[in-house]
Amino acid sequence: MGRTGRERDREVDFPPIENGVDYLRSVVEHLTSDAGDGPSPRSLKYAVLHLQAAVEVLLKARLQREHWTLVLERIDVNAATRQKFDDNSFKSCSSTEAVRRLTAMVGVEISKDDRTVMEELGRDRNALQHYGLTVNAQTVESRAAFVLDFLLQFVEDEFLAELKQEGYESVKADMQYVRQGLVRIRGLLDIRMERLAPQLEPLRDRTIECPECRYMAYVARADGAPSCLLCQHEAPLETDGEGEVWRDTYLAAIEYAEKVLGTPWKETPARPGDLFSQPAQPPLERCLGCDDLAVVLGARTALDPDREVAFCFGCTRQYAQCGQCRNPINPDGYPYAPPYDTEKLCRRCFQWKLEFMGVI
């Protein structure tokens, strides 16, 4: 017996691109529809869930366009069959693996910042679905703004040119709605930053980019651990295993180096005779002032965001960086005497330069 017209009208038909962009529209609706100071906890919950859904749908749609096997969890010639794919009786790869395949196998360019934010979003979604999530609203909004911006450009670059006319018009209309919502979300965050300006102004020399919300509102303190004035993110917790817990500047420095700068841990070569290689060391240097292992190379402060400095999370002291090895330069005793008063080298590199020139 054939289906009636009414039954056909009630079919769910969301091709991948339209489905992904519809999720983005839902994210904007949840983040901008509530009146008052911002979205409700329920709206934030569905914004996180639907944004992660959009990431997975759109990334995997691009993999599928390249070849359907790239969507599978395991690309196994013995297990992969087109029948299973068409019947949806397969397990797909994770969104992190989808990003890896897109960059390594398809050649799509995805920046380190975009990859990091999407991984953080995935962790939020997993926490929310499996055991609950407590996160600041500004963090969700900021993260959503980053991912929305990336996905809008991703759809523009990878899909629009190949959509049929009907699908093209629908997707373009939804994307315009999402763009307008993105402007509003960013506008709300900018307004909050403006409200914080009087508090942040005297702290610009120790204010850096927050690892969570990515706004320049993360304030380091010589008498305590850093925290963000916008999203209230604080340094990671450390414990001694006996019930004592504290916010740790050492862990805060590592978190900043990894999340904001993308600095890898330092590999230490094995010593002669060692059976095993040495464990990787954190991407930190020891402070020349307070002696804490809490100096991050390449940090940027709100005082001069275009200049990289060596920044200590322990005492908030800043150092210039050697132009050769990038290690911190102790400002005491620098610059060198003429004719070397313009040198931007640490003492060791400066000595090597003089030896190379035959001066000493």
The pLDDT value recorded for residue 90 is: 82
Task: Provide φ and ψ at 278, rounded to 5°.
Answer: -75, 145
Q: Are 243 and 220 in contact (CB under 8 A)?
A: no
Dist. CA 266–CA 335, nearest whole Å: 29
CB 150 within 8 A of CB 130: no
- The model's pLDDT over 51-100, given as tens digits with 9 standing for 90+, comes to 999 999 999 999 999 999 999 988 876 777 788 788 877 889 999 999 99
- In terms of Cα–Cα distance, which of 168, 169, 215 is closest to 194? 215
What is the rounded CA–CA span in Å between residue 357 and residue 186? 53
DSSP string, 238-304: EE-SSS-EEE-HHHHHHHHHHHTS-PPPBP-PPPTT-SSPPPPBPS-EE-TTT--EEEEEEEEETTE
Question: Which tops the pLDDT comparison, 58 or 289?
Answer: 58
- Which of the pair, 246 or 263, is modelled with greater confidence? 263
Say what the pLDDT of residue 10 is: 46
Among 138-152, 186-200, 333-347, name the one with the lowest average pLDDT: 333-347
**pLDDT bracket for residue 11 (50, 70, 90):** very low
| For residue 37, pLDDT beyond 90 | no
Task: Give the residue-averaged pLDDT of 138-166.
Answer: 87
d(C-alpha 281, C-alpha 263), whole Å: 12
Percent of the chain predicted with pLDDT > 90: 41
**Taking a C-beta distance cutoff of 8 angstroms, is the pair 316, 296 a contact?**
no
Residue 109's pLDDT is what?
93
pLDDT beyond 70 at 35: no
Q: Which residue has the higher pLDDT, 134 or 144?
A: 144
Residue type at 300 in one-letter notation: R
39: left (phi over 0), alpha (psi -120 to 50) or beta: beta
Indicate the average pLDDT of the chain: 85
User: How far out from the chain centre does Cα 37 lie?
Assistant: 25
Alpha-helical (H) ranges within 159-248 are 165-200
Stated as kind and residue range, the H or E segment containing 148 is helix 137-158
Confidence at residue 270, expressed as pLDDT on a 0 to 100 scale: 67
Of the candidates 26, 106, 119, 24, the residue with the CA atom closest to the CA atom of residue 60: 106
- Cβ burial, residue 324 (10 Å; 0-12/13-18/19+): middle
Q: How far apart are CA 159 and CA 146, in angstroms?
A: 20
pLDDT for res 359: 75
Peptide bond into 236 cis (omega under 30): no
Tokens of 141: 């909004």
Say yes or no to pLDDT of 8 above 60. no
Q: Confidence class of residue 348 from pLDDT cuts 50, 70 and 90? A: confident
How far apart are the two ends of the chain, measured CA to CA in Å?
98
- Choose the most confident range, by mean pLDDT, from 29-38, 123-132, 264-273: 123-132
pLDDT tens by residue, 163-209: 877 678 888 889 999 999 999 888 888 888 999 999 999 999 999 99
Residue 29 predicted with pLDDT over 80: yes
Share of the chain above pLDDT 70, in %: 90
pLDDT band at 36 (very low <50, low <70, confident <90, very high): low
Q: Across residues 29-50, what is the average pLDDT?
A: 82
* pLDDT given for residue 245 in this prediction: 76
